[in-house]
Each structure stands twice: as structure tokens, then as C-alpha cells.
């Protein structure tokens, strides 16, 4: 099962995140395989946060892996429950001393930005086959941003692109990715 989850996630990164250039920093780490894909099967929040801690420690020590996706296929399928996990994860990062060193990006199959209608295509910039937390090194973000447009311009460009393609396009694509990964 884990291989199917990872396969669907890798395909999503390649076809959506990189394919639509939603994150201009993804391709340089995707191609040389510098991304760790960790499936955390437990539905227990304590286990989920323990995995987050372990992966931050791994990123502190490792040089080959530059970023980590922790995939949570169980326990946070409901977006509101996932938001509870995200809130706890952000507090945990701060209490553990990882704030300033790492940043979390959040993705969920039912992701909804606070200012968006739930049916808006704009939400698909953060919709993924499975709920996940993306751990990113702050130093890598700083280096990447030196040569790129500012974050708000990327966000606005992504929303325009998603709205142009439409929610139905992304619904079909995410369903295809999960089906092809046999997840």
C-alpha cells in the first residue's frame, strides 16, 4: 500500500506541482531525487507528530535529502481534522526549536483556502492525492527566492492558472493519479 501512496504522490508532484509550475522550486529537487517520501500510517496524532520530529532531525543531519513529504493516509481524511493536525504541527515546530530552520507547507485532497469558496479551482494549488505535510529548509527557500519572483506573485499566478484550467480538470487529474497509483 505504501508504494501506491508514494507513487500517486510522486505522480502528483510531477504532473501538477511541477507540470503546472505551482512551485518553481520543486523540479530541482525532484529530478535528482532529493525528496524523502514518508508514509505515516497511524491515525494517532502523537505518532504523526513523532514522525514530524524524526523527519526534521533527519533533515538536520542529511545532505542528500533536501526536503520531506510526510503523507498521512489515515486519521486526517476530513479537512477540519487535518487543520487540527496542522495547528498542532506548527506549535510543535515552534516548541521543538525548528521554527526558523524549517517551514511547513500543507496539502490535502479537500484543501480550502480561507478566502476561497470550497468549489473554487484555486484550492487545487494545495490539493493532493493524500493529506501531507511538506518540510522545507528555510535556507533553501531563501536561496531559491533570490532568483525568483516574490511568493505573493507565485501564489497569484498559481490561482490564475488553476482558475483557467478549472476544478473539473483537477478533480479528474487527482482521481487519475490515485487510480494509476492503485492507491
Residue 6 contacts by C-beta under 8 Å, 6 or more apart in sequence? Answer: 37, 39, 71, 181
Which domain range does residue 14 map to? 2-180
pLDDT tens readout for residues 19-32: 998 987 788 888 87
Which percentage of the chain shows pLDDT scores above 90?
72
Domain count, the chain: 1
pLDDT tens readout for residues 32-72: 788 999 999 999 999 999 999 999 999 998 778 889 999 99
**Separation CA 33–CA 61 (nearest Å):** 17
Q: How far is Cα of residue 46 from the mean position of the Cα atoms in its chain? A: 20
The answer to whether 159 touches 20, Cβ cutoff 8 Å, is: no
How does 59-94 read in b/e, with b if 16+ C-beta sit within 10 Å?
Answer: beeeeeebbbbbbbbebbeebeebeebbeebeebbe
Amino acid at each position: 500500500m505504501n508504494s501506491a501512496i508514494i507513487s500517486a504522490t510522486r505522480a502528483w508532484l510531477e504532473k501538477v506541482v511541477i507540470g503546472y509550475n505551482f512551485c518553481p522550486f520543486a523540479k530541482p529537487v525532484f529530478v535528482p531525487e532529493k525528496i524523502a517520501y514518508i508514509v505515516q500510517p497511524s491515525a494517532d496524532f502523537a505518532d504523526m507528530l513523532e514522525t514530524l520530529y524524526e523527519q526534521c532531525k533527519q533533515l538536520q543531519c542529511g545532505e542528500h535529502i533536501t526536503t520531506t513529504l510526510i503523507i498521512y493516509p489515515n486519521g486526517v481524511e476530513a479537512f477540519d481534522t487535518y487543520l487540527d493536525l496542522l495547528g498542532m504541527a506548527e506549535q510543535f515546530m515552534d516548541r521543538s526549536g525548528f521554527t526558523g530552520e524549517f517551514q511547513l507547507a500543507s496539502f490535502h485532497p479537500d484543501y480550502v483556502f480561507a478566502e476561497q469558496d470550497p468549489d473554487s479551482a484555486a484550492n487545487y494549488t494545495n490539493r493532493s492525492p493524500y493529506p501531507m505535510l511538506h518540510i522545507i529548509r528555510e535556507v533553501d527557500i531563501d536561496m531559491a527566492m533570490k532568483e525568483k519572483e516574490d511568493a505573493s506573485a507565485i501564489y497569484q499566478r498559481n490561482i490564475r492558472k488553476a482558475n483557467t484550467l478549472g476544478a473539473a480538470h483537477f478533480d479528474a487529474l487527482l482521481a487519475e493519479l490515485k487510480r494509476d497509483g492503485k492507491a
